[in-house]
């Protein structure tokens, strides 16, 4: 992923909190998998949060000590045993192997693990 966010400190906690646009850059060997991504598509991007700590099991949500310590599986902390990020974003443009998405809070160089469409039933459920 290419993003103007240089590091973890610069990234907002969630994409809807004012994250910048980012480019998903696909390897040529998986290009066929990305061939139907198009502007307007709502997708989940799964990332590998390579700088996260994997030995953390409880955190103060949003790094705020006033929030009670909470098990990481009930938080969206980057620090967790398997640090996979889940980002719901909209595709803004496609340029060959490069896909521009809106409001993605991961920082520059974060590896992309998978991209999946959001299903209508997921979007509707409360």
Residue 49 C-beta: closest distance to its own copies, Å = 11
6 versus 86: smaller Cβ distance to its own copies:
86
6 versus 119: smaller Cβ distance to its own copies:
119
Decide if 44 contacts 88 (C-beta within 8 A). Answer: yes
Residue 20 C-beta: closest distance to its own copies, Å = 17
Alpha carbon distance 90, 15 (integer Å): 11
Residue 55 C-beta: closest distance to its own copies, Å = 10
Residue 101 C-beta: closest distance to its own copies, Å = 12
6 versus 25: smaller Cβ distance to its own copies:
25
**What kind and span of H or E run contains 123?**
helix 120-124
Q: What is the 3-state secondary structure (H, E, C) of 90-121?
A: EEEEEECCEEEECCCCCCCCCCEEEEEECCHH
Residue ranges that bind its own copies, judged by CB under 8 A: 14, 16, 30, 32-37, 41, 43-44, 46, 57-58, 70-76, 80-82, 84, 86, 88, 113-117, 119, 121-126
66 versus 126: smaller Cβ distance to its own copies:
126
């Amino acid at each position: 992923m290419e993003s103007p966010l240089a590091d973890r400190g610069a990234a907002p906690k969630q994409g809807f909190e004012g994250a910048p646009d980012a480019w998903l850059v696909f390897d040529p060997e998986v290009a066929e998998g990305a061939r139907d991504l198009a502007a307007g598509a709502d997708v989940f991007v799964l990332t590998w949060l390579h700088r996260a700590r994997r030995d953390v099991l409880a955190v103060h949500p949003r790094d705020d000590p006033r929030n009670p310590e909470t098990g990481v599986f009930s938080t969206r902390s980057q620090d967790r045993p398997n640090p996979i990020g889940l980002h719901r974003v909209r595709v803004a443009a496609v340029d060959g192997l490069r896909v521009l998405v809106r409001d993605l809070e991961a920082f520059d160089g974060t590896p992309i693990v998978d991209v999946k469409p959001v299903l209508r039933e997921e979007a509707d459920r409360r």
